[in-house]
Amino acid sequence: MKKLGLGILGSGKGSNCRAILEHISAGKLPAEARLIVSDVFEAGILDIAREFRVPNVYLPPGKFRTRLEPNVEMELVRLLREAEVELVVLAGFMRVLKEPMLAAFPRRIINIHPSLLPKFPGVESWKQALEAGEKIAGCSVHYVDAGIDSGEIIAQRNVPVLPGDTPESLHARIQIAERALYPEIIAQFCEA
Ligand code: GRF
């Protein structure tokens, strides 16, 4: 089967990226990570890229805090196209994507978010779930649109909120679910 070309974007430690690369290495995901990009120079995701020998690049984001500077975003499109990326996978990428990326990869950019969207978009959503007294939390994989965690939902996985949970314990349980769900959903794109 032809392998689906992935571009993985992240700003943090990269545990979802590692899970995806491990699934590929184990032959459980017929995909090829063609480029890993981070807007954070010292992000763990770049170490993971080097560990798995995936081409990687640090992309200085420019002067804005929550998005890329337009010329930088155009450069990102160029890099992903040059690497023949077919599906863009956001794995802890902390910037909102705008028109250059959305137009270049229509319905080909996905994200994973640690809540049962549409509940609790934005940051520290596990904390929001705990504070709201939810009994069930979880994670969502969704298409990326111009909003924050607002695109069409592709799949979700529930985890229980247990008595005595702290934000940390709940977050850890959600992340375990994320690392299983994301490779599974990417595999569906490989079949499409
Ligand atoms: C994940 O919890 C994901 O849901 C959110 O950012 C976090 C990234 O973690 N979008 P990691 O960098 O994959 O470890």
Give the pLDDT confidence of 77-106 residue by residue, as tens digits: 999 999 999 999 999 999 999 999 999 999
What average pLDDT does range 13-28 have in this prediction?
Answer: 97
Asked if residue 192 has pLDDT above 90, the reply is no
Nearest to 90 by CA among 14, 152, 25: 14
Q: Are 20 and 89 in contact (CB under 8 A)?
A: yes
Asked if residue 1 has pLDDT above 90, the reply is no
Q: How far apart are CA 14 and CA 17, in angstroms?
A: 5
Beta carbon of 14 within 6 Å of any ligand 1 atom: yes
What average pLDDT does range 49-62 have in this prediction?
Answer: 97
Beta-sheet pairing, 109-113 with 87-90:
parallel
What average pLDDT does range 166-185 have in this prediction?
Answer: 97
What average pLDDT does range 152-159 have in this prediction?
Answer: 98
Dihedral sign from CA coordinates of 54, 103, 153, 30: negative
Domain-by-domain residue ranges, the chain?
A: 4-191
Asked if residue 138 has pLDDT above 80, the reply is yes
96 DSSP β-pair partners: 67
Q: Are 91 and 16 in contact (CB under 8 A)?
A: yes
Confidence (pTM): 0.96
What average pLDDT does range 1-10 have in this prediction?
Answer: 93
Catalytic amino acids? 113
Q: How far apart are CA 168 and CA 71, in angstroms?
A: 37
Q: What is the pLDDT, as a whole number, of residue 103? A: 98
Beta carbon of 113 within 6 Å of any ligand 1 atom: yes
Q: Are 40 and 49 in contact (CB under 8 A)?
A: no
**From the CA of 96, how far away is ligand 1's center (Å)?**
15
What average pLDDT does range 110-127 have in this prediction?
Answer: 97
CATH 3.40.50.300 is held by the domain 4-191: no
Residue with CA closest to ligand 1 atom 1: 92
Q: What is the pLDDT, as a whole number, of residue 2? A: 82
**From the CA of 179, how far away is ligand 1's center (Å)?**
9
Q: What is the pLDDT, as a whole number, of residue 191? A: 86
